[in-house]
């Protein structure tokens, strides 16, 4: 019997039917799927020290289990002494089995090592069914030897799905195991309602219209070209 990653097996055997029922899809082909995961990081100082690019490529290769490549500048930036065609970072695109294997390690090994981790914010969706997660420290991945790290740096992890909406994409990623936390606004509103039920009407607090949430972005992370729906 051929090898099948745990999460891919979970998707085939349980998640497809779960999402089909939840959204009343007419057939299984309408169920959203995770198409690819793109891991990328920008490298500050790469213009002056080319070895930093090599370090970034090596780190992403170890984290992903697949050879990473350098990302190239698409234009000249005089203020940074940057010329078109110069390497400015690294990235790797994962599909199929390696994609599911990386996602499994991210969920079970890496994210639990984040300091004071309370879940990932749902504000990273792009409006087209894709999700971007910023990781601030590469050392959360067990594959990285902290004693050999020259500098703590972050990265962006982009989840590209076939979903038609952010809601469907979040349902898919939640079923796969990504630990989204409830929005700060909903938590705050629930807390205020509880206080109001125990307080006299004249002392009821004012509920703000909207709570602001901060997006976590990777340090010096590059802009990843939109490869969605390709």
Averaged confidence pLDDT in the chain: 83
pLDDT beyond 90 at 182: no
Per-residue confidence (pLDDT) for residue 87, from 0 to 100:
77
pLDDT beyond 70 at 103: yes
Read off the pLDDT of residues 206-215 as tens digits, 9 standing for 90 and up.
Answer: 444 444 444 4
User: Taking Cα atoms as reference points, which of 141, 168, 165, 170 lies closest to residue 153?
Assistant: 141
pLDDT beyond 50 at 202: no
Read off the pLDDT of residues 141-150 as tens digits, 9 standing for 90 and up.
Answer: 999 999 888 8
Per-residue confidence (pLDDT) for residue 92, from 0 to 100:
98
Per-residue confidence (pLDDT) for residue 84, from 0 to 100:
79
DSSP string computed for the chain:
-----HHHHHIIIIIHHHHHHHHT-SSGGGS--EEEEEEEEE-TTTTT-THHHHHHHHHHHHHHSS--EEEE-SS-BGGGTB-TT-EEEEEEEE-HHHHHHHHHHIIIIIGGGSTT---B-GGGB-SSS-EEEEES-GGGSTTS-GGG-SS---EEEEEEE--SSHHHHHHHHHHHT--BPPPHHHHHHHHHHHHHHHS-GGGPPPPPS----PPP--TTPPPPP--TT-
Per-residue confidence (pLDDT) for residue 178, from 0 to 100:
96
Per-residue confidence (pLDDT) for residue 195, from 0 to 100:
57
Q: Give the range among 87-91, 152-156, 201-205 with minimum mean pLDDT.
A: 201-205
pLDDT beyond 60 at 1: no
Q: What's the rounded Cα separation, in Å, for the pair 34 and 153?
A: 26
Read off the pLDDT of residues 2-43 as tens digits, 9 standing for 90 and up.
Answer: 789 999 999 999 999 999 999 999 999 999 999 999 999 988
Q: Delineate the domains of the chain, giving CATH numbers in brackets.
A: 6-182 (3.30.1440.10)
pLDDT beyond 90 at 135: yes
Read off the pLDDT of residues 61-75 as tens digits, 9 standing for 90 and up.
Answer: 999 999 999 998 777
Please give the average per-residue pLDDT across 109-135, as a whole number: 95
């Amino acid at each position: 019997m051929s090898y099948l990653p745990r999460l891919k097996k979970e998707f085939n055997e349980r998640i497809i039917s779960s999402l089909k029922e939840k959204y009343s899809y007419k057939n299984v082909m309408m169920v959203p799927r995770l198409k690819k995961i793109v891991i990328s990081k920008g490298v500050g100082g790469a213009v002056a020290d080319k070895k930093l690019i090599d370090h970034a490529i090596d780190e992403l290769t170890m984290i992903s289990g697949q050879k990473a490549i350098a990302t190239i500048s698409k234009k000249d930036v005089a203020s940074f002494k940057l010329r078109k065609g110069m390497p400015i970072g690294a990235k790797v695109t994962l599909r199929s089995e390696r994609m599911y294997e990386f996602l499994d390690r991210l969920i079970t090994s890496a994210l639990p090592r984040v300091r004071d981790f309370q879940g990932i914010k749902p504000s990273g969706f792009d409006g087209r069914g894709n999700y971007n997660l910023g990781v601030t420290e590469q050392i959360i991945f067990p594959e990285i030897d902290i004693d050999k790290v020259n500098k703590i740096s972050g990265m962006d992890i982009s989840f590209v799905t076939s979903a038609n909406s952010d809601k469907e994409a979040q349902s898919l990623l939640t079923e796969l195991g990504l630990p989204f936390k409830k929005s700060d606004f909903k938590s705050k509103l629930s807390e205020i309602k509880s206080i109001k039920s125990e307080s006299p009407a004249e002392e009821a607090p004012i509920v703000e219209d909207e709570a602001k949430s901060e997006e976590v972005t990777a340090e010096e992370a590059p802009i990843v070209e939109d490869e969605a729906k390709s």
